[in-house]
Amino acid sequence: MSRPLGPDAGGTGTSANEGTSAASSPVNATSSGCVATAGLMTARDGVISAGPFKANRGLWRAEQGTKFWVETSVNQKPTAAVIRAQLLNSSTQSMVTRRGPDAIATPDGDPPGLFFPGNLRLPRHGTWQITVTIGKDSGCFRVHV
């Protein structure tokens, strides 16, 4: 299995970790600094990537959620991925999901870094800001549900 980051990714973030990292793709950030994901299959903010976005259209609110992977391209010791989702314009609608080191997928032939497959459910319509933290690195993505 190869990592699903493609040429349609955008990003702006930086890495606080040392190690091997892939070059960033062209910038596609909102005024908040988060990557706007409309029309993108995958997105990158610095060394943090996530997706799929375009394929999840209409599926975020499904009972079981939808497939949502996150990764860092920084080669580092296994750690957790923390996914925070905040409904914009709402002080009460937020959620945190943690994927521990036991969730790391290590397919043969993949480049260094940590890849966390899994599901994510966003319970309400609106624009969500999803912040992914892996080790010392973080990335921010905006998705409209």
Sequential DSSP letters for 43-77:
EEETTEEEE-SGGGTTTTTSTT-EE-EEEE-S---
Reported CATH class of domain 35-144: mainly beta
Measured between alpha carbons, how far is 47 from 73 in angstroms, rounded to an integer?
5
Give pLDDT, residue 91: 77
Q: Are 71 and 48 in contact (CB under 8 A)?
A: yes
Q: pLDDT value at position 33?
A: 83
Q: Which residues pair with 140 in a beta bridge?
A: 131
- The C-alpha angle with vertex 30 and arms to 100 and 126, in degrees rounded to 5, equals 70
Any idea where the domains of the chain sit in the sequence?
A: 35-144
Nearest to 12 by CA among 42, 51, 48: 48
Give the pLDDT band (50/70/90) at residue 108. Answer: low
Distance CA 112, CA 80 (A): 16
Q: For 84-101, how does the pLDDT look when each residue is reduced to its tens digit (9 = 90+)?
A: 999 998 878 899 999 999
The rounded Cα 40 to chain-centroid distance in angstroms is 12
| pTM, rounded to two decimals | 0.78
Q: Is the dihedral of CA 2, 119, 142, 18 positive or negative?
A: negative
What per-residue confidence (pLDDT) applies to 106? Answer: 78
User: What pLDDT is recorded for position 94?
Assistant: 92
